[in-house]
Structure 1
Amino acid sequence: MSRPARSSGATPGEYMDRSLHAALARWTLGLSPAAVGAAYLDWAVHLAACPGKRFDLLGEAAKQMARFANYSWAASLQSPPPTIVEPLPQDRRFAGAGWQHWPFNILSQGFLLQEQWWQAATSNVRGVSRHHEAMVQFGARQILDTLSPSNFLPTNPELLARTASEGGTNLLHGLQHMAEDWQRQVTHQPPVGADEFKVGVNLATSPGKVVLRNRLIELIQYAPRTEKVRPEPILIVPAWIMKYYILDLSETDSLVRYLTEQGFTVFMISWKNPGPAERDLGMEDYRTLGVMAALDAISAIVPSVKVHALGYCLGGTLLTIAAATMAREGDQRLKSVTLLAAQVDFSEAGELTLFIDESQVAFLEDMMWEQGGLDASQMAGTFRLLRSNDLLWSYIQRNYLLAERPPLNDLMAWNADATRMPYRMHSEYLRHLFLDNDLAEGRYLTGGKPVAISDIRVPIFAVGTEWDHVAPWRSTYKIHLLADCAITYVLTVGGHNAGIVSAIDRPNRSYRIATRDAGGAYLDPDRWLDEATRHEGSWWPALTAWLGAHSGEPVAPPALGAAEAGYPPIGDAPGTYVLET
């Protein structure tokens, strides 16, 4: 992206400051030094003022050293005692059999004891703000994860065994992998294996037509797969932080294909990948040029019927804003709202909030101001930090030390097909939703007027995923506090993406489901978890059953597009916007 001209009423001094911050951001990976420094200063000053806390930490350190000494002595005598501390359930770094033998059992236990001590050292220091405490804890985890014995050849039994059995050739092949990855990164090529997946060839292959194109979206209408369809069409609003075809991956992993096979007419928004020309598009543009323009087209193609609207992630947040605005204005075109891993209350929005405070947002704004938006690589770097064990260190071990190249699947290929976000939109999103929580608290404006989620009267089907690090399920569950309509909530296994892409033939799938009637009493998430009915398999059939219960009797499918109404087919699916890089 090219640097914008001095504009927007910025003074020379403001221009200088923003340019300096943008240059600094290239070296800090977008993290504000002031935000990080303030967090550590808050923690250090309050810890210094708490001699009792420091005394407790010294006592805990002495206790752990004694336990570790006893364990080490017993382990050296070839009679390993019971482990001192167990890793967290999701931590698989020390799961191999080699870690149970000397000296690797000592290394792993010593490391886990350090993690435990630093967790205590960065927690419950009186006076430290919750946000700063979370930032310091996150920083400590990142440093410890870097120093884990699983990351180094001499201290990892699996790596040593592989190196010995292959005479070190794994390390040579790993260097080749590293060089290949570096070359692909600097030349902006997709990762190894992604070339085998092509949009329109083996990804996003559901047949259909583009029936609307404006400066922000293409609207795809998919061809029917049944002789008759439900009269109410479905509009899918994906997030623009990702390409839409996560919901139309391969033939076996396509929610679009499944819905059409169940007798629904499906429309999908495909967002344009914004560049410098789109830097000033805001959240209101995404609502009007996106959701509302799509609804206008659908109302012309399938007239006189209401629409089931489905939003995923950030698309679900936007859909909620649009639905609340429509309710305020008396627009009754919606039949139902479905929210997939979508947040409307951002007060507990997971570890992403580590990067959201006034200092950090201002720093990001200056970086985006110069670039025109947030680059895909910068977003990817943030998500890798949130799951560094899975997305960074395990990748380095497998690819560069073990010299393994696990094949990419369709979801991994989609994940590599990243997008950008416009400067103005992302600034508004961070400030009004994450930082100030305006939507949940009734301050978010559309058309110059505030919207209230409680105005929504159509039923809601909401889905959360158990291991979601982007939209934690307890955060998505807060729709129960904000909407008075009937809500069916589903909690499925999996993460933010894999939990939603839950094809019916995928193994080890299960979900819980319960419905609160309109005006019903609130049930807290812990009690809901105890009382909700658990089912084996994918949650997709539960969605289609719910949609079917809120739909009319099947009718003949509508034509693709409506030329007489100004929406002729203008191209085949998947369209052109999805191909933009």
Structure 2
Amino acid sequence: MTERADNPLFQYVIKNPEALAQNIARFIEEGGRAAAAYIEPREKGETRTRVSDELAEVLKTIGQIGEFWLSDPKRAIEAQARLWTGYMSLWDQSLRRMMGEPSQPAVEPDPKDKRFKDPEWSQNQFFDFLKQAYLITSRWADSLVEDASEVDDHTRHKAAFYIRQIANAISPSNFILTNPELLRETVSSNGENLVRGMKMLAEDIKAGHGELKLRQTDKSKFALGRNLAMTPGKVVAQNRLRQLIQYSPTTDTVRKRPLVIVPPWINKYYILDLTPEKSLVRWLVDQGHTVFMVSWVNPDAGLASVSFEDYMREGILETLDAVTAATGEEEVDVTGYCVGGTLLAVALAHMANTGDKRVRTASFLTAQTDFTHAGDLKVFVDEEQLCVLEARMQERGYLDGAVMANTFNLLRSNDLLWPYVVNNYMLGKEPFPFDLLYWNSDSTRMPAANHAFYMRKFYLENAFAAGKLSIDGAPLLLKKIKQPAYHLATREDHIAPAKSVFTGAARFGGPVRFVMAGSGHIAGVCNPPALKKYQHWTGPKPKGEFEDWLPTATEHPGSWWPDWDHWLKSHDRDTVPARIPGTGGLKAIEDAPGSYVRAQGA
């Protein structure tokens, strides 16, 4: 018995076949519930999902890459030879290892790849062989797309994205018999993990009304106003598209010029007000800023016709009116985050046309205004795909929030999708409570007219950067935005790539401070100084190419928040007695975080 226990293969031997058989029966029973949860809404006509459209797009795109290689026999043979060379190298090294001779892996995973961190992926020759065969094949597939020189750039971009998603999906780390950790857990628990996982899968399909609503965190551990969005304040204004929150001061005096934040409507604003330790809002209030936050409505079919211009007028221009009424100040600083920054830039260009000078400084956090280098989201943007998207939105009057949530998960599927599939549905473990992922799952809808305009005019046509957007007959030009502007990019951003933010910032007509923070679209922005994480870079005014700016930039440890605070105060150091929300020109409607942000439903 001791010899068996010392054998590394013993950990993969079934110890209790009877218990395993019982759990397999329970697994099948739970699988029936999952299937019922999937089928029932379709039988009732409650779901409108059309997988065929997406599948057809994938097959057509990859088919164009295949046609390039198969159209030339010599080229096809060379491609096959590259793959077989990799396989032969793997086979040679594997034989050497089996015979006890020195050997080197034919291929190694990226050090950042968390899928193969279990020691058995290297120590066990079977799992090591699977890992290397997978890496050789997936990298070969990537090279086929990259080297398809006669295929247009957009098609190659789409194909690279689709190939990456397929490769991520078929990774041996995603299957019980080819993942050592999953196999050990299944054997040691006699399949209990599979029963728990299938039970969670059934629950998540039911929660998604026939679609998988992937659980990424334990939602029971969080609630707005209890341990998220806790910064005290009052809702002091609202219209059909937004509530306006004014936060309570924590200092005796505050900057004279109020600070207004316009977050994206694609997600809820409280990413900027998570726990008190991570809250950008709370930190700004503590630095002596009078902070106002736009909290967008979660729209339904009744707002289907609301336009991008409506969001500008009711979300920004009416907000400026409200801030003036609340504080008596005619001049404000305005900040836009992500698409909120895109909207802010449109508003500023329009205000330049009308002579409206209320905004004295503008800050843009991971916000794009030139979409030339807009990253992987452009995979989903061409005339054919937009027509399909617009037709679907017309059916309901809005885009389901779950669609955007799934899209963002796919952009980083090896971080935000497959680890949770493995952990939840195969290991049978509840995900760890994580505030950021709670926010990520709290999705919002997008009005059909507004979202169609945004995708078509910005992502497809890049009309704003080209000077082809107009309001009231007057073209909107980035060079007319003369206010001092602070532009933040993040180094690993998959949604608003640093190069894209840089390119847009270079088009502004006034003084620009460009800063790049470490990490990505969320973690790079929400990085409190107390955590002492990541870093940020500062450099000259953006012009020319981003790749030329980088070597000239200076790296600084820690958060970019103090740099931004210093920049804001350098443009207005006057102070006034602290302002109490609801005691100025606008009365309090309700306590923060307000009712708009609590509205659920994808």
- Could you tell me the TM-score, scaled by structure 1's length? 0.90
Residue matched to 1:27: 50
Q: CA deviation at 1:559?
A: 4.1
Cα drift, residue 556 of structure 1: 1.1
Mark the CA change 1:447 to 1:374 in structure 2 (over 3 Å): closer, same or farther. same
Range with greater deviation from structure 2 (202-211 or 362-371): 202-211
Question: How far is the alpha carbon of 1:393 from its aligned partner?
Answer: 1.5
Partner Cα distance (1:41, 1:25) in 2: 27
1:575 partner amino acid = G
Q: Which residue of 1 aligns with 2:98?
A: 76
The question of 1:574 aligning with 2:593 is answered yes
CA contact (8 A) 2:371 2:458 kept: yes
Q: Does 1:551 align with 2:576?
A: no
* Deviation (angstroms), 1:198: 1.1
Helix, strand or coil at the partner of 2:372: coil
CA gap 1:146/1:47 in 2 versus in 1, 3 angstroms? same
- Structure-1 separation of matches of 2:510 and 2:430: 49
Alignment pair present for 1:132 and 2:155: yes
Number of the residue aligned with 2:375: 350
Report the alpha carbon displacement of residue 574 of structure 1 after superposing the two structures with TM.
1.1
Cα gap change, 1:49 to 1:212, in 2 (>3 Å):
same
Structure 1 window deviating more from structure 2 (116-125 vs 337-346): it is: 116-125
Conserved? CA contact 2:182–2:426, under 8 Å: yes
CA contact (8 A) 2:405 2:441 kept: no
**CA offsets, 1:219-246, max 9 Å, x none?**
1111111001111110000000011111
Can you list the C-alpha shifts for 1:369-423, whole angstroms capped at 9, x where unaligned?
0011100111122222222222221111112222222322211111111100000
State the alpha-carbon separation in 2 of the partners of residues 42 and 25 from structure 1.
29
| Counterpart contact for 1:31–1:363, Cα < 8 Å | no
- The alpha-carbon distance between structure 1 residues 396 and 41, as it changes in their structure 2 partners (threshold 3 A), is closer
Q: How far apart, in 1, do the equivalents of 2:74 and 2:258 lie?
A: 64
Q: Percent of counterpart pairs with the same letter? A: 37
Once residues 532 and 100 of structure 2 are traced to their aligned partners in structure 1, the CA distance between those partners, rounded to angstroms, is 40
Q: Distance in 2 between matches of 1:294 and 1:175?
A: 48
Q: Which amino acid aligns with 1:224?
A: P
Structure 1 pair 78–157 and aligned structure 2 pair: CA distance change class (3 A) = farther
**Aligned counterpart, 1:274:** 299
- Please, what is the CA RMSD of the aligned residues? 2.3
Q: For 1:464, what is the secondary structure of its paired residue? A: strand
- Show the 5 A alignment for 1:468-507: 468-507=493-532
Deviates more, 1:571-580 or 1:421-430: 571-580
Letter in 2 for 1:169: E
Match of 1:296 among 317, 321, 345: 321
CA change 1:79–1:176 in 2 (3 A) is farther
Task: Please state how far the C-alpha of 1:426 moved relative to its aligned partner.
Answer: 0.5
Unaligned runs of 5+ in 1: 1-21
Q: Secondary structure at the match of 1:96?
A: coil
- What displacement does 1:550 show? 1.4
Match among 389, 392, 405 for residue 364 of structure 1: 389
Which residue of the partner structure matches residue 147 of structure 1? 170
- Is the aligned partner of 1:525 residue 2:555? no
TM-score by length of 2: 0.87
Q: Within the alignment, does 1:117 sit opposite 2:140 as a pair?
A: yes
- Using the TM superposition, name which of 424-433 and 401-410 deviates more: 401-410
Aligned with residue 179 of structure 2, among 156, 175, 182: 156
Cα distance in 1, alignment partners of residues 71 and 209 from structure 2: 48
Deviation at 1:138, TM superposition (A): 1.9
Question: Is 1:229–1:265's contact at 8 Å kept on the other side of the alignment?
Answer: yes
Between 1:86-95 and 1:65-74, the stretch displaced more is 86-95
1:238 counterpart letter in structure 2: P
Q: Bigger shift: 289-298 or 530-539?
A: 530-539
Cα distance in 2 for residues equivalent to 1:299 and 1:121: 58
Measured after TM superposition, the shift of residue 117 of structure 1 is 1.0
Amino acid at match of 1:474: K
Partner of 2:233: 208
Query: Bigger shift: 134-143 or 274-283?
Result: 134-143
| Structure-1 residue corresponding to 2:475 | 450
Structure 1 CA distance for aligned equivalents of residues 518 and 329 of structure 2: 38
Q: What do residues 46-74 of structure 1 show as CA deviations (whole Å, max 9, x unaligned)?
A: 33333443232123123212211212212
Q: CA deviation at 1:23?
A: 11
Report the number of matched residues. Answer: 553
What amino acid maps onto 1:40 in structure 2?
I
Compared with structure 1, are the counterparts of its residues 446 and 31 closer, same or farther at alpha carbon in structure 2 (3 Å cutoff)?
farther
Q: Which moved more, 1:396-405 or 1:223-232?
A: 396-405
> Mapping of 1:181-220 within 5 angstroms?
181-186=204-209, 191=215, 193-220=218-245
Q: How many Å apart are 1:569 and its aligned residue?
A: 1.9
How far, CA to CA, are the matches of 1:52 and 1:211 in structure 2?
70
CA distance in 1, matches of 2:545, 2:531: 30
Name the CA distance, whole Å, in 2 between partners of 1:534 and 1:551.
26
1:519-551 CA-partner distances (Å, limit 9, x unpaired)? xx7252223222211111111111111111111
Q: Which moved more, 1:64-73 or 1:507-516?
A: 507-516
